[in-house]
Every structure is written in structure tokens, then in C-alpha cells.
Amino acid sequence: MARRTRVLLAKLGLDAHTIGVNVIAQALRDAGMEVIYSGLKQTPEMVANTAIQEDVDVIGMSSLSAAHMTHFPRVVELLRERGAGDKLVIGGGVIPDEDSAALLEKGIERVFTMGTATTEIIAYIEAWQAGRGAGRDT
Amino acid sequence: MSDAKSIEQGREAWQRDTLEPRLAEAPERKHPFTTQAMGWPVDRLYTPQNLDAIGFDYVRDVGFPGEYPYTRGTDPNGYRSDLWTMMQVSGFGTGEDWAERGRYMLDQGLTGLFLEYDLPTTNGLDSDHPLAVGEVGRAGIAVDSLDDMEALLDLPFDKLQRLTSICNGPQTVNLAMILAALKRRGIDPGSFTLQMPNAILIEYTCVGRYIFPPDHGLRVAIDALEYSIQNHPNWIPISVVSAQLYAAYANPVQELAFSFAIAKEYLDAALARGFDIDTLAPYFSFITGIDMDFFEAVGKLRAYRKVWARIMREEYGAKRPESEQLSLTASPGTMSLTLQQPLNNIARLGIQMLACVIGNGGHAMNTPLHDEAHALPTEDAIAVGAAVQNIVAHETGVADTVDPLAGSYYVETMTRRIEDAVFEELAKIESMGGALAAIKTGYFQKELARQQYERTRAIEDGSRVLVGVNHSVREGEKRNIEIHKHDPDVEHRQIRKLERLRAERDGIATRRALDRLRDAARSGENLVPPCLEAVNAYATHGEMCGALRDVFGEYHPDSLTTGIS
């Protein structure tokens, strides 16, 4: 039986805007995924550790201040260093177009800016999971 | 004057002879019609029958402006004598960078400024802390030391009526910095109003810029309140920023009920220090946010004043009118602004300002700006925001008569409905043990998280229309405004300044002052005087907050209290 997709939602740095992450958490759960929420004021190390310990498939990071340019790429680096580079890393929030382009180059697979429908994010994760072999067997 | 019976007969006849033929040819475009935030049914028509149904009594429910229960406003003459203080929120860069912007804003005709500090500052960290990377001077002003505060207060104080300083976590530290900087600049603290939202319980509920566990956070807030009342009686030492609840999607009933529950925690904590209610209550103020449903907004503002007056008189036994008069700042709501088609936001701001003024929204108002969904506001947006306030003030006539919608069958019905629902929700919170308990158990946070999800779903499924988002969407639309550019050099400049300060100050005096601050934190004495000593000994903002952290610890809510559990 395919296990449910496990998603870690994370807030890095000092940014405390939580509406986006609250909404995404509830939407992903309603779509049948398992959601773990990091809480506020996380460092990239804390997020990478949690992602590995909890064996998540997807890491979604939310930024509505400046954290994305420094912290998002660092999470990708840490995951790769620890052999966990196969996880899907995505970001969202208030992220200017030029920053999004830079993040995509640094291994963030996709950046969803403010106003993206939750259904679009769910469909994206489901498509990625399907492309990966319809979830791993447990 | 028509009596109830003739109105009822008239209504029946109208329905049968006039309305029904119309409905037969043109069915209604929605079913049911509901208010936007509360989802309450909206009737086709409101008549005197609605007022009869709620037992509306003019003197008891509405009365006269400047008199209990203040439904029609706290100023007996509305806006006919004085308009409101026109404010805008701003903050970025170093103290020097921001002072330049502050002077520009005052030149645009604004008379009050809201200071926002950057995230390291509001979280009690210096600019060179590892968690501060990328954030220095970004979402607000970077303040590490007395030098920074002195630089940012390089403003023409003759043009400034009110300065609002938003630093809710370390409020005593921020207050001490301001006091020391005013002294060095030779500015009389009595010449303007300093408003400290000092809104720590709102931070735990939904904003997240807290440092210490809630009980200690509350003590810091009450220390700042107590010191301010005793030393600067013309200042506003506490504001319940219900606008933050609204910005976290609280509906009007939740916004008011949570805010009053929070206000009661502050009141009770201060009363326990020996203040009496009639000394204390006049210092309380509230800052609300206005949403797009015009009548909900007007009803909310009117109910806001009435509920406060009733709580003061009925529950606290206040005797002075000043205790019962709600001091309110209103701002059009940032949550109704859209990223898409940003110029549309100017129309939204105009409509919300109109509701603010018609609902008698307060002594001060600030407009958020049409480009805020993208980034910090540009100078053009600030000018437009100031113009929106002046257009409503001078071109529309809505400020020329007091509470012009009083007596409206719909507005009075709405006002009463909100009032009743707020008292019901307040009773529920009280049965949980009050606001502090509701925060610790996550009740407020969960209620807000639910609202956030429901509102998002309503926008996604189209049941809530947002023009430019799910209505009148233009394909392939490009952003058509200039946005503020963050100066990447700010962090570097700020850190160099901080390093220089640490090298040049008398390190022994600084350490001694920080030890004294720790002792005060342990002993329970008011923290403002030792904070002032530390500021003058050039202890940094982060070091002072660090000293308090050593004693109070840090707050890390578990998943139960984050709203996502």
C-alpha cells in the first residue's frame, strides 16, 4: 500500500507571517497528505534535521520577509550533503520574480508566490509524487 | 408618523403587488445574500420593523455623541472641529535612512508616523546575530543602540502630533531608547504623543514577534505602561492592536471579543499594582482594521465604542467619562489588498477610508498603500495614500455631520447584532479563564487558523469575489507599478556601526548596567529605569533583551498553540 505523502512545512529565520503556512497545512491535510509543521524561528540546520528524521517526501518553506535568499538554498545544500537530495523542496510567500529565478537555480524546485491557489500546489505535489513512482511502499 | 401596523400592512402590500412581479421577471443574482466576514444573512429590505424586533431604544442604544454609550462617537462634534491625525506606517533601513523618509512623509501633510522596526529588533536581537542575516533594515528600521534611535528621531517635531512605536516584545527596552534619545536631542516629551502599542498578547495570538514566555511578556508590558503613566501622562502607553487580529482574518466579532479579553488581562494586571480603574482606563487605546464589507465595518466601529463603554461601566464600575470613551485608531485593511492589479487597491482604500470616517473610526487613521502586497511602499504610494485620506476628508462631505448612518434600519440592526455576539464570545473566553489562558491553550490561534482556511477557500471557489483575483482577471498581466528596492548594503553598514560602538564604549560600565537589569528582572521592580541606565551605558538592544532572556527564558510554543495541530 502506498503511504501518504509526508510534507514538512517550515518557517525559517525571524519571519512570523503564518497565514500562508496555516492555510497550506490545512489544504494539504484535506488532500490526504501528512503535514508536519516546524514552528517559527527555525534555522536551515533545524529544518534539514527534521526533514531527515521525519523522513518526509516534501519540504515546503514559507517566507514573507528576507529569509528565502539565504535560508532556502542552504536547506537544499544540507539535504544534499546528507544524502537526502531526493526530497522535493519548494518555497512560497512574498518572493519577487528575480529572487524566484535565483532560487530555482539553487535547487528549489518551484516557488509559489502569494495568490497561488492551494489546488495548484496540491496538484503539483501529487504530480511530482506520481512521477516518482506513486509514493514509496511501506 | 406611521405606526407599526401601517408599516406591516404596507410591507405586505408592497411584497405582493410591487416586489413579486419584479422577482418573477428578474430572479435574484445570489442566494442567500450574506455579510462578508460574519456570513450573516442580509435581508432584502430593512424597515422600522427591524428596529422593533431588537427593541431599539434611541437613548439607550445610541444616545448623543460624546455621551454614554458613545455609539455615535466620543467627540461631541465628530470631525467638525478636528479631523483625525493622518498617519502612515513606515520603517526600513538604518535610523538615518528612515529619518529621511519620515521627513518626506511629514512633508506630504501627514501628522503622525508609525515606526516599524526590523525583525531582529522586534525579536530582541542585534544586527550581527546569526538569525538576523538578510533581515537587517528590511521589514523595518534597524535599532541596535542609542545612536540609532537618536538618528531616527531626527524629525521636525513641530509637525509631528503622534509617533507610534511598534516594538511589542521588548517594550521597556524600546521605551528607554526613545526616552534617552529625546533627551539627547533636547525634545520635550510633552510636546507630542508617543503611542506604544505594547501589544504583547496580540503577538502571542497571531503576530509571532514575542521573546519571553507569556507571563513575563505581560510583566514587561505592564512595566512600560506603569512607567509611562507615572512619568508621561500625555502618552498612550498601551494599545490593543485588534488590526492584527483582523489581519489574521478574525471576523469582527472575534476581533472585538479577543481584543476586549486581552484588554481585561492588561487592566487586571495593572489594577493589581494598585491603579484605580479611572486612572488606568483612559490610557487604553485600540487600533482596528477595516475590511471591505462597508456595513459590517460601520457596525463594527459603532459596536466597538459601545461595548467598551458598557464593559467599563457595568463590569469595572468606572465613573469617569474618559474611562468609558474608547480611544480608537482605525486603518483600512491590508488583508483586502491584492497582489494582482495593484492599482485596484487605491479604490479599495478609498472605500475603506469612507467606512472609517462614516463609522467615526477614531482620532487617528492610517492608510496602508496600494503596493504593500509587493514590498515596502514607494514614495509615490505614500503620496497616494495621503491623498486618499485628504480626498475623503475634504471632497466627500462625510466628515461634516456626526455619525450620519445612525438610525439606518440596517446599520442599527448590524451594530446591535455585533454587540450581542461580542458579549457572547467574551463570556465564552471568560469561561476558559480569560485571554491569557485562551492563548496558552491555543484557542485564539485555532479559531484564526480556521478562519484563514475558510476565507482562502471562499476566494478559491469564487464564493467570495476579489476583483483581479477571481473576477475580471486579465490573462498575461504584468506588474504595472514600481516597487521599493531593498538596499543590500544596509546590513553591512549597520553591523560596522555596531562593532564600532562596542569597541568604543566603556565595557565595564555596560556590563555593570546589564547586571543591574538582570537583578531588576529577578526582583520584580519596574524595568524601565534599569533599561534607561543600560541604554545610557551604551548597552545594545540585543544585549538588554539578552539580559532579560537570561532571567525570563524564551518562548517556544508547542504545536498545540500554533494553530496547526
Strand partners, B87: B112, B366
Query: What pLDDT shows up at residue B562?
Result: 64
A132 within domain boundaries: no
Going edge to edge, which strands form the sheet with A58-63?
Answer: A34-37, A6-11, A58-63, A88-93, A110-113
Contact: A35, B564; criterion CB under 8 Å: yes
DSSP state of B108: T
Q: How many domains does chain A have?
A: 1
A135 within domain boundaries: no
The verdict on B488 touching A (C-beta cutoff 8 Å) is: no
| Other CB atoms within 10 A of residue B276 CB | 13
Query: What pLDDT shows up at residue B481?
Result: 57
A134 within domain boundaries: no
Question: Rounded to the nearest 5°, which phi and psi values hold at B55?
Answer: 65, 40
A112 within domain boundaries: yes
Q: What is the ipTM of this complex?
A: 0.88
Contact assessment for residue A35 and residue B562, using Cβ atoms and an 8 Å cutoff: no
Contact assessment for residue B381 and residue B369, using Cβ atoms and an 8 Å cutoff: yes
| B374 contacts on A by Cβ (under 8 Å) | 94, 96
Query: What pLDDT shows up at residue A138?
Result: 42
What is the β-pairing status of strands B284-290 and A88-93?
unpaired
Among B271, B340, B177, B316, residue whose Cα is nearest residue A115: B340
Average pLDDT over residues A58-77: 91
A133 within domain boundaries: no
| B119 contacts on A by Cβ (under 8 Å) | 13-16, 65
Among A59, A64, A61, A60, residue whose Cα is nearest residue A17: A64
Indicate the residue of A19, A70, A118 with minimum beta-carbon distance to B249: A19
The verdict on B548 touching A (C-beta cutoff 8 Å) is: no
User: What's the rounded Cα separation, in Å, for the pair A60 and A51?
Assistant: 10
Contact: A43, B131; criterion CB under 8 Å: yes
Query: What pLDDT shows up at residue A137?
Result: 46
| B556 contacts on A by Cβ (under 8 Å) | 39, 41
Query: What pLDDT shows up at residue B485?
Result: 67
**Domains defined along chain B, listed by start:** 71-434 (3.20.20.240), 507-561 (no CATH)
- Look up the CATH number of the domain holding residue A77: 3.40.50.280
Contact: B556, A39; criterion CB under 8 Å: yes
Contact: B456, A118; criterion CB under 8 Å: yes
Interface of A with B in 52-81 (CB under 8 A): 65-67, 69-71
Q: Find the range with the poorest average confidence among A2-6, A116-120, B62-66.
A: A2-6
Which of the residues B453, B473, B545 would you substitute to probe the A interface, choosing the one with the greatest number of A C-beta atoms within 10 Å?
A: B453
Indicate the residue of B133, B486, B558 with minimum beta-carbon distance to A70: B133
Query: What pLDDT shows up at residue B375?
Result: 63
The verdict on B338 touching A (C-beta cutoff 8 Å) is: yes
Domain range for A100 is 6-126
Question: Grid coordinates representing B337?
Answer: 489588498
Q: Categorize the per-residue pLDDT at A98 as very low, low, confident or very high, splitting at 50, 70 and 90.
A: confident
Return left, alpha or beta for B73; rule: phi > 0 is left, psi -120 to 50 is alpha, else beta: left
A54 within domain boundaries: yes
**Cα-based angle B246, B248, B254 (whole degrees, multiple of 5):** 50
Cα-based distances in Å from B375 to A94, B29, B354, B488: 8, 37, 25, 15
DSSP state of B31: S
Cα-based distances in Å from B143 to A12, B101, B151, B242: 22, 16, 10, 26
Tens digit of pLDDT at every position of chain B (565 positions): 678 999 999 999 999 999 999 999 999 998 899 999 999 999 999 999 999 999 999 999 999 999 999 999 999 999 999 998 877 666 678 889 889 989 988 888 888 888 889 999 999 999 999 889 888 998 889 999 999 999 999 999 999 988 999 999 999 999 999 999 999 999 999 999 999 999 999 999 998 999 999 999 999 999 999 999 999 999 999 999 999 999 999 999 999 999 999 999 999 999 999 999 999 999 999 999 999 999 999 999 999 999 999 999 999 999 999 999 999 988 887 778 888 888 899 999 999 999 999 998 887 777 767 776 666 667 788 788 888 989 999 999 999 999 999 999 999 999 999 999 999 999 999 999 999 999 999 999 999 999 999 999 999 999 899 998 899 888 776 665 566 666 778 999 999 999 999 999 999 999 999 999 999 999 999 999 999 999 999 999 999 999 999 999 999 887 655 666 5
